[in-house]
Chain A
């Protein structure tokens, strides 16, 4: 697959458990953050976003937490399902910028 050679960190969770995927971002001036899900053979798919004036945002089964002090972003997935198996990327956007800077990605494997 396209992720061969990328040496992604892998997280394996049991179906029904909660998953937490972490990301350290690099630019303290970034003011917008997004989590993407990428399934094999597909492009990145938007999951949830958060602006720098917030520290938590919730969606359907997903929560994003932002800690600007330590430049850390996390994605929590509740009641993880087999369909959640994918590679998850965080991305940051600097103030006034249109460029997304992607993190390395984490591969989530859900054990039925």
Chain B
């Protein structure tokens, strides 16, 4: 049973537009959420995170929104750039376990 779900395997966006990647979770014990970005033939790299005491965290072009009641988070990329084309993984952790649970990833393609 997937505790972290990324229901869109892929997303295609025009350069300059907004990219919105979604993630849903089922475990109410999760209290820390992370997004990772992965290019082909490389390991994932950390992008942005949010703790459950916040509903928004922003870092440059990247913003993560958390809706605890809906158990939903989203990553917004504005404006999208071709270099953002990658697979994005959502991950969640609970109570200082330091053991994240990953979603299956969403492949983002940004067209010039």
> Do A and B come from the same complex?
no
Binding site for A on B (CB under 8 A): none
Give the B-binding residues of A (Cβ under 8 A).
Answer: none
